[in-house]
Amino acid sequence: MKKIILGLLSICLLGACASVDEAKHFANCKYVLRNVELTDYNLTSLGFTVVIAITNQSRKQAASLKRFEGKLTVNDEYMADVTLKDIRIEPNSTNNAKAKFTVPMTTFSNKVLGLISMNSATLDYHLTGTMYFAGPLGTEIPMPVDIGRFGNGRN
């Protein structure tokens, strides 16, 4: 009986170490707000897709993200909450994580709405929030993230 319990405990500890290791590699990833694309529009709302390119710079270990919760702003005006879940990136590769959401027309100022309708290159997108990694024994390890894509080409 003791051997069975010891074996199960060993398996749990190895799994916990693996998830902490993956979380550590995820923290060392490179994040780029690749695109905010208008996908749907009508008189009451606009639909968008946000694409975040996440590059795992480790050559040996995969990176895993349990969830991301953040806020998207356009030209410093709040647009929407963005949520991503269960992302895994293999070593030395990039994953384009996508989140879709709808924003009511009442959220937009006239200035931002005009720039969006003209497909302006002067829109600054900014995404701030917290990424949560799977920790040992079901815990979550938070990490703040602040990324943006600027209309004039700055990153």
CATH code of residue 128 = 2.60.40.10
Which range among 45-59, 64-78, 111-125, 128-142 shows the weakest confidence by mean pLDDT? Answer: 111-125
Type and span of the H or E element at 32:
strand 30-41
Q: Which residues contact 107 (CB under 8 A, 6 or more apart)?
A: 78, 79, 80
Give the tens place of pLDDT for each residue, 51-110: 888 888 888 888 788 888 999 887 788 888 888 888 888 888 998 989 888 888 877 766
Asked, for residue 15, whether it belongs to a domain, the answer is: yes
Residue 22 or 32, more confident: 32
Classify strands 77-89 and 140-149 as parallel, antiparallel or unpaired. Answer: unpaired
> What is the rounded average pLDDT of the residues 19-39?
69
Q: Which residues contact 144 (CB under 8 A, 6 or more apart)?
A: 128, 129, 130, 131
pLDDT on residue 9: 43
Of the chain, the percentage scoring pLDDT greater than 70 comes to 68
pLDDT for res 69: 92
Selected residue with higher pLDDT from 150 and 139: 139
Dihedral, 120, 122, 123, 128 alpha carbons, nearest 10:
160
Per the domain annotation, does 74 fall within a domain? yes
| Stretch 109-138: mean pLDDT | 72
Overall residue count recorded for the chain in this entry: 155
Range among 9-18, 94-103, 134-143 rated most confident: 94-103
> Which residue range is the domain that position 144 belongs to?
2-149
Structure tokens at 71: 């806020």
Count of alpha carbons within 13 Å of 53, Cβ hemisphere only? 13
Residue 135 covered by a domain: yes
Tell me the sheet residues that pair with 59: none
Number of structural domains (the chain) is 1
Indicate whether 154 belongs to any domain. no
Could you tell me if residue 155 is inside a domain?
no
